[in-house]
A and B are shown apart, each in its own frame.
Chain A
Amino acid sequence: QSVLTQPPSVSGAPGQRVTISCTGSSSNIGAGYDVHWYQQLPGTAPKLLIYAYINRPSGVPHRFSGSKSGTSASLAITGLQAEDEADYYCQSYDSSLSGSVFGGGTKLTVL
């Protein structure tokens, strides 16, 4: 069981908007630690998608955005495209474990 909780799967039709949640606790997100998001396309290494909740690295489309609310973070993808089909992971730091933690991952299916 992961320290950060994500839904196992989400789906949406091309052009639609989907959100992926990442729920933590008082020792990670609730303690003020940043959340980062990664995209892992099938058979490839993870790629940084969003850092420190809302920031996009160079080259990441504006369709991807992040937000925070209390002890949770969310990743939103607008204008879904077939190429967005991938696994998405959130990551933060946990003070109780003294290390980084990942969510269990969410598989996005584009219908």
Chain B
Amino acid sequence: EVQVLESGGGLVQPGGSLRLSCATSGFTFSSYAMTWVRQAPGKGLEWVSVISAGGGSLYFADSVKGRFTISRDNSKNTLYLQMNSLRGEDTAVYYCAKSSSSWSPNDAFDIWGRGTMVTVSS
């Protein structure tokens, strides 16, 4: 069974840092690009970042560029999102999603985790 499980969310003060993890199983992790998508409370979906299957291509939404970093460990089938200089507007559920190919900017996201909540507040 294909599984994607996010962890690492929690309450953090403005300006703080947090590292999210996404553990996967049931598919060949190293063959697929992976994506982070977030959803603020009561709001719509916002694409955050994508990393290619091999990790050589990374892209970020303008809203997080320079503050967030995406990485992956293909030996551990795990995706990461390092979030620095956090702001109140980063408060959201963060979803990890599998892309439908190794790398295409126009991929669909075919497997989603349940998400992990990040709250930025003093």
Contact = CB atoms under 8 A, between A and B. Distances in A.
A63 interface: no
A91 B107 CA distance: 10
The A interface, classified by DSSP as helix, strand, loop or mixed, is strand
Contacts, number: 68
Interface residues of B, number: 24
Contact of A105 (B45, B61, B114): B45
Given A51-B100, A51-B108, A100-B50, A38 B62 contact: no
B103 interface: no
A45 interface: yes
Contacts of A33: 105-106
B110 A99 contact: no
Nearest to B109: A48
Interface hub of B44, B47, B100, B106 (most chain A Cβ within 10 A): B106
